[in-house]
Amino acid sequence: MTRRVRLWVLAAGLLATAALYAAACTQLPGFGGSWHPYGDRAVRAALQQRTANTVSSVNFDLRAFDTLGEESVLFASVLGTVVLLRRTRDEKRVAPEPVRVPAALRRYGRLMLPVTLLIGLYVIAHGQLSPGGGFQGGVVAATSLHLLYIAVDYPALERFRPLGLYELADGAGEAAYVLLGAAGLIAGSAYLANVLPLGTFNTLSSGGTVPLLNAAVGIEVTSAVVVLLAHFLAQALEIEGEREEDRSA
């Protein structure tokens, strides 16, 4: 197929999709309407489970099994990335050249790193109360470590980031989620059922298993993002191939 023909096929497809989609939109309930049957029931159920942040309740209690699936997708794609980006036998590791960092940036990074890390951990820990949770806080905590790379240099980041430990923690987070689900079975209920005491509404220990599953996800997401960025950084800065062109030719 030539490029021209392909563009025509694409245009036809896009136009047809646009027409059908627009037609479907007219049948949707209007934007900002008050008819949310599913949402209302979810809010009622979340309050019954004494979880103040209903979004966390949906993620880690009402639809916890769905989150297990999401988490497994995350785990699998991290695993795939690690396999694809590992150093092969014909590649060598070259120490990146040191770069001078302006003093102001260095000071700023040193100041912001602990603050950002603390915010990340706070967001994870308060997932069942305020906006946040393992998914968001995990990303914040993981990126905070990389301020070391911006403010100091790459070797400093490598020293403070034992990669093996994070890879282990990634697996442990996923395993903890699966095992916490099994706790429901042991207690004589369904898999991933919320079997722990629900606690007092709007306190740190409320929500039964929600804070625990949330913490498991927090650990997994933090280490997942650290591991991912570590492999991309290593590929971009350190690993150099040796004439694959000759080999593949």
Partner 1 sequence: MSLLPYLIAGWIFLAGVYGIATSRNLIHAVGCLAVTQSSTYVLLLSVGYRKGATAPVFSDAPTSATVVDPVVQALALTDVVVGATVTALLLALVVQTAKRHGTIDPDELSGLKG
Partner 2 sequence: MDDALVVAVLVLVAAAATAAVLQRDPARQAIVLSLLGLALAVLFTVLQAPDVGLAQLAVGSAVTPLMILLTVRKVRQRKGRPK
Structure tokens at 168: 């282990």
Q: Is 208 helix (H, G, I), strand (E, B) or coil?
A: coil
Contact residue for partner 1 among 114, 131, 162, 197 (CB under 8 A): 131
Q: How far is CA 213 from CA 70, 146, 175, 179, 246, in A?
A: 13, 26, 11, 10, 50
Which residues, 6 to 25, sit near partner 1 by CB under 8 A? 6-7, 10, 14, 17-18, 21-22, 25
Q: Is 113 in the site for partner 2 (CB under 8 A)?
A: no
> What backbone phi and psi angles, to 5 degrees, belong to 146?
-80, -5
Q: Is 241 helix (H, G, I), strand (E, B) or coil?
A: strand
In angstroms, give the least distance from the CB of 183 to partner 2: 25
Q: Is 91 helix (H, G, I), strand (E, B) or coil?
A: strand
Contact pattern for partner 2 over residues 15 through 34, marking x by CB under 8 A? --------------------
Sign of CA dihedral 205, 209, 215, 217: negative
Angle at 124 between CA 128 and CA 40, to 5 degrees: 30
CA atoms within 13 A of residue 192's CA, in its CB half-sphere = 19
**Range in contact with partner 1 (rule: CB under 8 A) among 56-64, 104-112, 156-164, 187-195:** 56-64
Which residues, 75 to 114, sit near partner 1 by CB under 8 A? 77-78, 80-81, 84-85
Q: Is 235 in the site for partner 2 (CB under 8 A)?
A: yes
Q: Are 57 and 49 in contact (CB under 8 A)?
A: yes
Binding site for partner 1 (CB under 8 A): 3, 6-7, 10, 14, 17-18, 21-22, 25-26, 28-34, 36, 38-39, 42-43, 46-47, 52-55, 57-59, 63, 66-67, 70-71, 73-74, 77-78, 80-81, 84-85, 129-131, 133, 135-136, 138-139, 202, 221, 224-225, 228, 231-232, 235, 241, 244-245, 248
Binding site for partner 2 (CB under 8 A): 53, 55-56, 123, 131-133, 135-136, 139-140, 142-143, 146, 225, 228-229, 232-233, 235-237, 240-241, 245
